[in-house]
Structure 1
C-alpha cells in the first residue's frame, strides 16, 4: 500500500502565490520520491492556482495529497462557488494566445479532473482538482 499524505497551502489573493505553490509542490513531491511527476504537477498546480487567484477576490488554497490508491490529487480552492469556465481546446502550434488555456492544459495533462463545491475560511467556494497516477 502506498504512503498517504495530505498538504494544504493557504494563500492570499496575489499572483505571487502561484510561484510559492509551484515551489512548495516541487518540494513535497521530491521529498516523497515522486520526482517523475514534478514537472507535470507543477504545471497543473500553477494553472489551477492562477485561475483561483485571477478569477476571485478572496483567499485561496492549494491542496495536494496522495491517496491510498497511489494517485496524486491536486486541487485549488477559491471563493467562487460557481463552476469553472468550460475548458477551451489548446491552441495550435504557432498561435501565441496564452489566456484561457488553463483548464485545457489540465484536461490534456491530467488523468482526470473535476470540480466540487467546498467551504473554507468560513466562505463558500469550490475546489477545482485533477489527478496524476503516481505508478
Structure 2
C-alpha cells in the first residue's frame, strides 16, 4: 500500500480534529462537574457551558434564526438595534455587527414611520452569510428618491444605505392571505470576509 503525502495530511487533520473535539468535550464536562446540578441551574457555571457549546455549533457551521416582533412605536428601532447587537455578540459575529445594526435600524425606522401596524425583524445565519429582513404590513415597496437626497435632507437615504452597506438586498410584496394583508419584506445579506489563503512554504 502506497501512502501519499495527501493521505498523511488527511490523517493528521482527522487526528487533530478528534483531539480538538475531545478537548472541547473535556472543558464542558469539567464545567458541569465544577458544581452541583443546582449550581449549574442557578447560573454559576451555565455561561461557561453555553459558550463552549455555542462555539462548537459555530465551528460546525450550524444555521440559526431569531425573530423579534415590535409595535409601531418610536422606541422600536433602538430595541431592534440592541437585539441585533446582542444576538451577534452571543454568536461571535461582531465583524458583522455594525453593518447589521445600521441596516436593521434603517429598515425598522422606515416601518415605524410609514406603516400603521406591527412589524418584525428576522436574523438568519447560514455560514458564512447573515440574512436580515424586516416585515411590515404595508405592501408598498420603497422607491428610490429622485433626485437623490442631499447631505441636508433628513430622509430619503434608505435605499442608498442598503446599496452601500449590504452585500446583497431585495424586497418583495406579500399578497393578502386568509388572515389579512400580507405586507412586504425587505431583506439584506452580509457575508463574513473570506479567510486568508494558507501560507505556502
Which residue of structure 2 aligns with residue 134 of structure 1? Answer: 192
Q: Which has the higher contact order (CA 8 A, sep 6+)?
A: 1
Residue 109 of structure 2 is matched in structure 1 by 50
For residues 1-22 of structure 1, the C-alpha deviation after alignment (integer angstroms, 9 at most, x for no partner) is 5221111100000121000000
In the alignment, which of 3, 10, 17 is matched to residue 76 of structure 2? 17
Q: Which has the higher helix share?
A: 2
* RMSD over equivalenced CA pairs, Å: 2.1
Partner residue, 2:135: 77
Using structure 1 for the length normalisation, give the TM-score: 0.87
For residue 64 of structure 1, what is the aligned residue in structure 2?
123
Shift of 1:122: 4.5
TM-score normalized with structure 2 length: 0.60
Larger strand percent: 1
8 Å CA contact 1:48, 1:76 repeated in 2: yes
Deviations 1:16-42 (A, max 9, x none): 100000000000001001001111110
Q: Distance in 2 between matches of 1:43 and 1:131?
A: 13
Determine helix, strand or coil for the equivalent of 1:14.
coil
Flag structure 2 segments of 5+ consecutive residues without an equivalent: 1-59, 194-201
Structure 1 residue 84: Cα displacement: 1.6
Partner deviation per Cα, 1:99-124 (whole Å, 9 max, x = no partner): 11112101110001100233797531
Whether the aligned pair in 2 keeps the contact of 1:87 and 1:104 (CA below 8 Å) is: no
Q: Does structure 1 residue 111 correspond to structure 2 residue 163?
A: no
SS at the partner of 2:130? strand
Q: Structure 1: give runs of 5+ residues left out of the alignment.
A: none
Deviates more, 1:119-128 or 1:28-37: 119-128
